[in-house]
Structure 1
């Protein structure tokens, strides 16, 4: 298998990595999650004057603050997979399974689901995987150029690798086929039968005998997503980027082929160039300008747990493929995230989901973590049917740009899609 093309430490400073835009613009970015912040960084680097608007009171208050903290450049399998359509009836009936669908009287949901089911074919899944790998390689390069100027300790950044654990032989075989598909294009990966994962992470002893096999990716990383958002904002402010918090954007006023004004709780304002990077709310804003953006929110959950015994808690990032739960060390805490709910109305915390995450964590690591001090989170992750983000010019509206639909890969792909966005200006 080939080694990751961009795994070496970056040699260029982030701010000198690209040339300036030939036509600097006044750009408004809607969204102060990691995707919006990375967009602002790439646009500022290209010489544009950038203002970031968000309805929250600070950066990273949505999915960016509660995500799984894994930078999974090489584990990019799209959610839409062959065979999944046969599971749909059970996913509707199983209220608390790892993947759950709640049908709604919502045309947007049914249209998205139809496109999602059409994407559940081997050719589409393979194409999506290869495109995500290419985007992941770019994002790794851009992300590491960014964090090279920050404190790894302050960001809880680690380059400790990743293990994906498969409970059954059939799922392990599927994981191995995925690794073989990625081999010419992505990172170095190893298929480890049985308990072979223990050689890389002895702290997973509780999984001994319960795993048919695992896929190990030594170059994968982890980072505190909220800390990265705060660091990015701090650097951008020092470079003249303006931030406006507590501002809700209600809609866009379109005149001909352009968005002329932004309609918000802080009043209407003229627009030169506009970037929608506001997560799940971006589809509604695009619709107010007459555009359909195939993005739908997928709800996820996480807990953040203090670590009592660092030697007994993995430093390697871990994905339990059966339960769709991920574990990532961020300093003296363990982030545990999981579940996909299609059709959730909001980001309210379901206590039963949190109890499931706590039970998984307690079973895996026992007293090595302080489960009683777990901090719960739930939020909406904007996804496309194919899991491929939508990046660049909107098509039909000449000054409207998109950077949306990252799903569970927002932290991983943010700086890569931001680079593509800036290149599209």
Structure 2
């Protein structure tokens, strides 16, 4: 079968690899000059099944107000006259209750745990290297109140069979020796030993090389204008270099996916949530993190990637604006210098921003759609790197007509019911930014 994958981030490339592995003829199309040059370029580096949870949790509104009042706020809202933003926020708050949280969490963990297993198998199969480490995540608590509240998180982890260890201050220093220099700044932590780390950009580029060896054609520098449809199925992708045709089409364009499929009658509740990162060279290996430390107060992750430290955080709602804001850098500077003052050289740091494609319920949108030959692989939010391998494998199985290894119930666009499906517009035209 001929398949076109739209998007060459980590989601699109893993999908293409598994499709080629299944024997399909695959073409990947992207407007960039190479793979992983947008959201996959400089994310926090975490592969974190243990940290897979929806933002929409009980008490979210009060937490959000508290976060936005902080000096180095982990949450920023830049109000716009954008109905999509406010509709998404309303849906997010509608999911912020215990029943919805448990349903959404179970779906996310199902995908994330499966994806971690797929990633391990992929490493064994290909020998791929990407500055990976398998030493877990340490969620660091600066206050006793945070430490006491960990009981709720542990109950959730128990429910889903996710391994963890609650550590006192000494245990945190044993897991991350560089924290001995600042041990007065925290009281304890929650370690998730099943989590991993790695450079998503390196992984995506190297997997693209493996995919090319399996026959995948990568067409870079191609602007996608619209999907053509006969009302039942997609008949082609109109680009600035002509119309491309295939038997099946997979949309893996992150935050830009809703614009592309809306004229086909699909309304995806995916909205961009902007994140920032710093990447700085390590100057003292003994003063750098061993794996990932997640500062619970500031919601910032500090990750060791080979001879570099990646610092990632902030959730900013403001549409598709990619402005690098100095105040967001100051927040990341503060956290890494506060916890790892001797680890890296901030003067040499690369400051970056990207758009995470978030759904209001936290779960990605995967698999078949009501349009006969159109498939979706989008809406992963902050967990695209965590869920990439599993999502790619699920899409390859769905396109191939094979039974997926985990249940797809609650993962497809069908979970949104009639709100997600309408009569297609004619003509089906859109020009993503």
Q: TM-score, normalised by structure 1?
A: 0.89
Distance 1:72 1:51 in 2: 30
The runs of 5 or more residues in structure 1 that have no matched partner are 1-24
The question of 1:245 aligning with 2:220 is answered: yes
Q: Which moved more, 1:400-409 or 1:344-353?
A: 344-353
Do the aligned partners of 2:357 and 2:380 also contact (CA within 8 Å) in 1? Answer: yes
Answering whether residue 285 of structure 2 is matched by residue 285 of structure 1, we say: no
Partner of 1:64: 40
- SS of 1:27's partner is strand
Residue 376 in 1 paired to residue 348 in 2?
Answer: no
> What does residue 15 of structure 1 align with?
none
Aligned-partner SS, 1:268? strand
> What pairs with 1:78-117 in structure 2 (closer than 5 Å)?
78-88=54-64, 97-117=73-93
Do 1:253 and 1:288's aligned partners in 2 also have CA atoms closer than 8 Å? no
Q: 1:173 aligns with which of 143, 148, 155?
A: 148
Q: 1:349 to 1:420 in 2, by over 3 A?
A: same
Residue 100 of structure 1: CA displacement? 1.4
Q: Structure 1 residues 241, 100: closer, same or farther in 2, change over 3 A?
A: same
Q: Secondary structure at the match of 1:191?
A: strand
Distance across 1 between alignment mates of 2:271 and 2:96: 17
Q: CA deviation digits over 1:224-273, x for unaligned, max 9?
A: 11110111100000000000001111211221211112121112233421
Q: Deviations over 1:344-400 (max 9, x none)?
A: 432221122112212222222223311110011101010100110000012x20111
2:386 is aligned with 1:412: yes
5+ long unaligned stretches in structure 2: 400-433
Shift of 1:216: 0.7
Question: Structure 1 pair 360/90, CA: closer, same or farther in 2 (3 Å)?
Answer: closer
Aligned CA-pair RMSD: 1.8
Is the 2:288–2:342 contact (alpha carbons within 8 Å) kept by the matching residues of 1? no
Flag the 1:105–1:341 CA change in 2: closer, same or farther, 3 A.
same
Q: Does residue 109 of structure 2 align to residue 139 of structure 1?
A: no
Determine if contact 2:21/2:214 at 8 Å carries over to the other structure.
no
CA deviation profile, 1:168-226 (whole Å, cap 9, x unmatched): 33333333312221224233101124453112112112442332431112232111111
Structure 1 stretch displaced more, 102-111 or 409-418: 102-111
**Structure 1 residues 62 and 95, CA, compared in 2 at 3 Å: closer, same or farther?**
farther
The secondary structure found in structure 2 opposite 1:292 is coil
Distance apart, 1:316 and its partner CA? 2.5
Q: Where does residue 119 of structure 1 map in the other structure?
A: 95
TM-score (norm 2): 0.88
Distance (whole Å) between structure 1 residues aligned to residue 317 and residue 397 of structure 2: 33
Identify if the C-alpha distance between structure 1 residues 278 and 309 changes in structure 2 by more than 3 Å, giving closer, same or farther.
same
- Where do 1:32-51 residues align within 5 Å? 32-51=8-27
Q: CA deviation at 1:88?
A: 4.7
Alpha-carbon distance, 1:167 to partner: 2.3
> Match of 1:366, SS?
coil
SS at match of 2:289: coil
Residue number in structure 2 paired with 1:160: 135
Q: Which residue of 2 aligns with 1:6?
A: none
Q: 2:244 aligns with which of 266, 269, 278?
A: 269
C-alpha contact 1:63 1:379 (8 A) present in aligned 2: yes
Match of 2:124 in 1: 148
Deviation at 1:87, TM superposition (A): 4.4
Residue 90 of structure 1: how far off its partner (Å): 5.9
Cα deviation, 1:11-57, whole Å, max 9, x if unaligned, reads xxxxxxxxxxxxxx211001100000111112112221110001110
Matched residue, 2:52: 76
Distance 2:264 2:117 in 1: 34
Tell me the SS of whatever aligns to 2:50. Answer: coil
| Partner Cα separation in structure 2 for residue 199 and residue 91 of structure 1 | 30
Q: How many residues align?
A: 399
Q: Can you list the C-alpha shifts for 1:48-68, whole angstroms capped at 9, x where unaligned?
A: 111000111010101111101
**Alpha-carbon contact 1:33-1:62 (below 8 Å) kept:** yes
Shift of the 370–95 alpha-carbon distance from structure 1 to 2, 3 Å rule, reads: closer
Matched, 1:331 2:303: no
Q: Partner of 2:35: helix, strand, or coil?
A: coil
Distance 1:225 1:195 in 2: 31
Residues 221-230 or 101-110, more deviating: 101-110
The residue number in structure 2 matching 1:183 is 158
Partner of 2:423: none
Larger mean Cα displacement after TM superposition, 169-178 or 84-93: 84-93
| Correspondences of 1:302-381 after superposition (within 5 Å) | 302-381=277-356
Q: Secondary structure at the match of 1:160?
A: coil
Q: Mapping of 1:19-30 within 5 angstroms?
A: 25-30=1-6
Q: What SS does the aligned partner of 2:190 have?
A: strand
How big is each residue's C-alpha offset from its partner over 1:71-105, in whole Å with a ceiling of 9 and x where there is no partner?
10111121111111234556667796111122211
Partner residue of 1:399? 373
